[in-house]
Copies of this chain bind each other. A is one copy, B any other.
Amino acid sequence: MPSLTGNALIGQSGGPTTVINQSLVGLIEECVASDSIRHVYGAVQGIKGVLEENLIDLGRESKETLEAVANTPCAGLRSVRMKPTREQCEQALQVLKKHDVRYFFYIGGNDSAETAHILNQIAVEEGYDVRLFHVPKTIDNDLRVTDHCPGFGSAAKFVASAFMGDNQDNRSLPGIKIDVVMGRHAGWLTAASALARQNEGDGPHLIYLPERDFTVEAFVGDVERMYKQHGRCLIAVSEGVHGPGGAPLITSGEKDSHGNIQLSGTGALGDFLAGEIKSSLGSKLRVRADTFGYLQRSFAGYVSEVDAHEAREVGRTAVRQATSGNVPHGSIYIRRTGNGSEYGAEFDVTELKNVAKDTRDLPEEYLSGSNDVSAAFLEYVRPLVGTLPVTGQLSDFPIG
């Protein structure tokens, strides 16, 4: 392909992560360094900002500001949950043309890849030469092709650390504790709670993922068994658990423009499950439920170092791939080159259609029975969270 010179535009879309701005800053750095790119613009609130021509100049930011932004959670460009229509995509392309945008980078999940994919189709039809790239992010870790998604490692570290603490809390003051973890369709983040187990008897003692059908009857039976065994029970539940055939456990709630029912930002599921345990096993039981909520995706000052590094790299790689002229469009992905202490990652590009629309659940090999994860999953997830806290317990030596 011939080399292409013009302006670059960056947008961020969907739910935040704590390292999504690492990707933004990686993109800006490489855009500024590239001979093919004259100006690097940002679209405020993703595709909404494109449609409204709400654009800002990112090339004038100081290195100090960019580093501060890179270490700040959530979308520095601000985000949007919007699935543009075909007509809106055509309109967005006119804005790209008007500002001579020849490189468009969209940081987001599979819905954002889909938006980039549609924009690309229209550009090809209209014969407008623009390189459209999707830069992956999602705490849900549910994108296809890539080994894992930037943003997931940090959220997994938060969840593992939260469960480490709550395991000690539950050991200090025994009872039944339910923690509801994000993950609408896929159980990756909830599964990471298993990293909290460091000592004999540590929770979570039960882990419920959307990859398995959930019934209240089986749940109550599992809890009763674990409570008898340990004198306490710590439970990880994905917000996306559902009955056979996908039947929701709780039916009320609003929907976003992608048709997704609101699961986060409410304690309803946890309170419902706590109520079910009390009504089945006894109202005097000490049963509590916490819903981790937005803290998982936005807590400041606590990230996986590995994840932060990789998030920066996917941004840099996107610009290098786009300006290389090797491919006209694509989605950046991570390939794992080793495991354990040999862990390493390479960054490559795949076609937009391979990542758009569909998502990826936990494969069968990462599940164990109906309420746990496998050793293979722990091997998969451990390198992604970076350094975890180490907990210690008294030996309980007898006296005298």
A63-80 contacts to B (CB < 8 Å): 65, 67-80
A246-292 contacts to B (CB < 8 Å): 254, 262, 264-268, 270-271, 274, 283, 287-292
Nearest-Cβ distance from residue A164 to partner chain B, whole angstroms:
4
A85 at the interface (CB under 8 A from B): no
Binds B, one of A235-243, A356-364, A372-380, A383-391: A383-391
Given A16-B168, A267-B266, A294-B169, A301–B388 Cβ distance below 8 Å?
Answer: yes
Query: Quick check: A300 and B78 within 8 Å, CB to CB?
Result: no
A206 at the interface (CB under 8 A from B): no
Alpha-carbon distance A69/B388, docked complex (angstroms): 15
Alpha-carbon distance A12/B173, docked complex (angstroms): 11
Residues of B within 8 A of A1 (CB): none
Query: Quick check: B173 and A15 within 8 Å, CB to CB?
Result: yes
Residues of B within 8 A of A262 (CB): 288
Alpha-carbon distance A161/B177, docked complex (angstroms): 24
Query: Quick check: A74 and B394 within 8 Å, CB to CB?
Result: no
A57 at the interface (CB under 8 A from B): yes
Residues of B within 8 A of A302 (CB): 161, 301-302
Nearest chain-B residue to A266 (Cβ)? B271
Residues of B within 8 A of A77 (CB): 394
A40-68 contacts to B (CB < 8 Å): 41-42, 44, 55-58, 60-61, 65, 67-68
Query: Quick check: B74 and A18 within 8 Å, CB to CB?
Result: no
A81 at the interface (CB under 8 A from B): yes
Given A162-B299, A267-B266, A301-B161, A392–B288 Cβ distance below 8 Å?
Answer: no
Query: Quick check: B16 and A172 within 8 Å, CB to CB?
Result: yes
C-beta contact mask, A301-313 vs B, less than 8 Å → 1, else 0?
1100000000000
Residues of B within 8 A of A388 (CB): 301
- Copies per complex? 2
A122 at the interface (CB under 8 A from B): no
A229 at the interface (CB under 8 A from B): no
A153-201 contacts to B (CB < 8 Å): 161-162, 164-166, 168-169, 171-174, 177
Chain A interface mostly: loop
Residues of B within 8 A of A16 (CB): 168-169, 172-173
Nearest chain-B residue to A290 (Cβ)? B293
Residues of B within 8 A of A15 (CB): 173
A395 at the interface (CB under 8 A from B): yes
Given A165-B18, A172-B75, A302-B302, A68–B391 Cβ distance below 8 Å?
Answer: yes
A341 at the interface (CB under 8 A from B): no
Alpha-carbon distance A393/B168, docked complex (angstroms): 37
A398 at the interface (CB under 8 A from B): yes
Nearest-Cβ distance from residue A357 to partner chain B, whole angstroms:
22
Nearest chain-B residue to A169 (Cβ)? B298
Residues of B within 8 A of A161 (CB): 299-302
A295 at the interface (CB under 8 A from B): yes
Residues of A participating in the B interface, judged by any CB pair closer than 8 Å = 12, 15-16, 18, 39, 41-42, 44, 55-58, 60-61, 65, 67-81, 99, 161-162, 164-166, 168-169, 171-174, 177, 254, 262, 264-268, 270-271, 274, 283, 287-295, 297-302, 388-400
